[in-house]
Structure 1
């Protein structure tokens, strides 16, 4: 351990989830068991000597209004890190870092198509040896296009199997498609993040989807606004899987995942009226501190409920604040190339996203449990 017993970053009220324009504030704690020569914490300057003891250095800075949401994957990422460095002359530096989550407040009430319903249909003709059989037809209907994590997408649809072949199953699926752009090419990554299945459909038979619930797990919002090299899209599909060698019939509808739900949806669940103004943070004077801004680079486990303080996530005071739940894709290792054995802090991190469960609420809070994978 040497002369340094503790180098730690702590945030006020243990808050680690932030929105545009908010203050990030807290203190850096240093505990020494012997004197140590060092430069300033924030920038190089004259040499200083700290005697043994405990030291606390407060910090506060304001985030810009427009930043992309935190996002982690094996291909690319948007990561926000607060770092404290003890810069020592002619010796290795001591460093501690904490990764925080930034959420871009995507308000579905401001999205023109979020409340609209859509119907899509598809057809596929099967071949049986040398003869064609009748077609398979499928219709998918969604009563709206905008959702937030924690909600259920109600699947309405109909499948008509006019072929002479049995359909092994049908299933509804929420798909996440991420495009990673470079100046020369684009790489696409696809994930199935939620799925519900039904049984076989006999030749000549039909099947009805009557509002079956497809859950939305904790996910980043659509498009990843503010990031020019990563684009996130979500699609709900109704799939029909034929028996034997044949491609599925797939009927897709593109949807929007936001962070602030539709008021009309909140009202359906009897959500209470305006929330108390105490959920908004008061102003504090700014104290300069080193901030590592979003790092975007081109380069999955159970999710857990995360308890954080409420924040001024929106101006929609008639909509209660969400819970925050670890990303569906779980934790990642946040070691960077310039980290070494002297870097302190929790190196396992998962972004957390706004999460609603309309079925469990009272007049003040929402208690949410992430969908099981």
Structure 2
């Protein structure tokens, strides 16, 4: 180990490690030795794309473990020397100094999900490199990278440009005497967004009770469902962004007007192409009721995509042009979408343990996926949330979710 000073995977170009299906990954393995190593049989590279889930339920003897796995690609190559199964494979000498071993690999040109990391499951794409030494411990290093998954174009989603709305009512009892319902209503300015954009939330709690509303809270929540090979499943909810506003007294109304929630770098809804991890998003609007264990709450589902609405769709959704001019040979010009930057997932880098159980040669392997993120103007809607615009020709433009 003392002879090996550097052992790492480097990608050509800007080395940010973001690729797409069908693209050829090019790079090299960099090895720096303080002195010659005479015990090397070969240098092996493996390219892997896979998803994995794992969790346990119960405790002690009653504990049951569940897991699932999907493999999208796996390819192994020898970039120097020989493999252990080669006839007559023997140790070779790797001289001191710096060595570069180039590689190339074409990602399969098939739909692939975006990478994802969590304690209960992940979707990963990686380059695994091994210095094979007969009768000794091998040296290992890994490099994880991002594959741009299946694009989710909001312009192809009819509901994306129109608001979503939810309403619920809750009746509380005091000394066995029923009181008027507490009615909670929440709206979002659109039904779908991209990371970097702001979700504008408007909400109202009509408090027809003698209890006060302590405060109002709005949250962007990620719901991830993990499936095992046997199709058992478990769900985890994570609050990504939250904010608060003032409540109100008894028999009053508490209002939150177009509170912006900036969407961090997160994976899109789905992810498409993966059958063991499902990701969904929702806005939770809550009014905390004093001196009770209950909340006045509504849930508004939202979709997170990867390609934003065209600029003409950022303004008032009611101002949609239905009839296109037909003077230029019936050719309509579609505005170009802005280009994203790729930002590290919210939550930042996390340590990825070695699957093989071997220590990485140079400290911990830290990694986070990167997702397309946009810098878009944030303008609150100009329309009244109680009278949202409706989609042309739609009988029910607003998503209505009523709970009792």
CA contact (8 A) 1:97 1:344 kept: no
Shift of 1:342: 5.2
Specify the alignment match of 1:40 in structure 2.
42
Of the candidates 260, 269, 273, which is equivalent to residue 307 of structure 2?
Answer: 260
Kindly report which structure 2 residues correspond to 1:1-373, keeping only aligned pairs within 5 A, or say none: 1-12=1-12, 13-32=14-33, 33-42=35-44, 43=78, 44=83, 45=86, 46-47=89-90, 48-64=92-108, 65-104=110-149, 105-182=151-228, 183=230, 185-264=232-311, 318-341=336-359, 343-344=361-362, 346-359=364-377
C-alpha distance in 2 between matches for 1:133 and 1:229: 45
Aligned length: 314
C-alpha distance in 2 between matches for 1:247 and 1:192: 19
Structure 1 residues not aligned, in runs of 5+:
269-315, 361-373
The alignment's C-alpha RMSD in Å is 2.3
C-alpha distance in 2 between matches for 1:248 and 1:114: 29
User: Quick one: structure 1 residues 208 and 344, their matched pair in 2 at CA, closer, same or farther if it must change by over 3 Å?
Assistant: same
Shift of 1:266: 7.5
Residue 325 of structure 1: SS of its match in structure 2? strand
CA contact (8 A) 2:351 2:364 kept: no
Specify the alignment match of 1:275 in structure 2.
none
Residue 224 of structure 1: SS of its match in structure 2? coil
What per-residue deviation string (whole Å, max 9, x for no partner) do you get for residues 159-208 of structure 1? 21111211111121111111111215211111111112111211111133
Residue 92 of structure 1: SS of its match in structure 2? coil
Shift of 1:146: 0.9
Shift of 1:98: 1.0
CA contact (8 A) 2:310 2:335 kept: no
User: Quick one: structure 1 residues 179 and 265, their matched pair in 2 at CA, closer, same or farther if it must change by over 3 Å?
Assistant: farther
Shift of 1:344: 4.1
CA contact (8 A) 1:170 1:198 kept: yes
Specify the alignment match of 1:305 in structure 2.
none
C-alpha distance in 2 between matches for 1:153 and 1:265: 17
User: Which stretch has the larger CA shift, 228-237 or 25-34?
Assistant: 25-34
C-alpha distance in 2 between matches for 1:76 and 1:131: 48
C-alpha distance in 2 between matches for 1:317 and 1:74: 40
TM-score by length of 2: 0.72
What per-residue deviation string (whole Å, max 9, x for no partner) do you get for residues 94-114 of structure 1? 222111122313222233432
CA contact (8 A) 1:154 1:213 kept: yes
Shift of 1:147: 0.8
Residue 14 of structure 1: SS of its match in structure 2? coil
User: Quick one: structure 1 residues 224 and 184, their matched pair in 2 at CA, closer, same or farther if it must change by over 3 Å?
Assistant: closer
Residue 179 of structure 2: SS of its match in structure 1? strand
Residue 372 of structure 2: SS of its match in structure 1? strand
What per-residue deviation string (whole Å, max 9, x for no partner) do you get for residues 103-156 of structure 1? 313222233432232222111112122211111112212231111111111112
Shift of 1:242: 0.5
C-alpha distance in 1 between matches for 2:290 and 2:313: 42
What per-residue deviation string (whole Å, max 9, x for no partner) do you get for residues 267-319 of structure 1? 66xxxxxxxxxxxxxxxxxxxxxxxxxxxxxxxxxxxxxxxxxxxxxxx9922
C-alpha distance in 1 between matches for 2:272 and 2:252: 44
C-alpha distance in 2 between matches for 1:18 and 1:59: 15
CA contact (8 A) 1:266 1:319 kept: no
Shift of 1:39: 2.8
C-alpha distance in 2 between matches for 1:101 and 1:265: 31
Shift of 1:222: 0.9
CA contact (8 A) 2:247 2:287 kept: no
Structure 2 residues not aligned, in runs of 5+:
45-77, 316-333, 379-404
TM-score by length of 1: 0.78
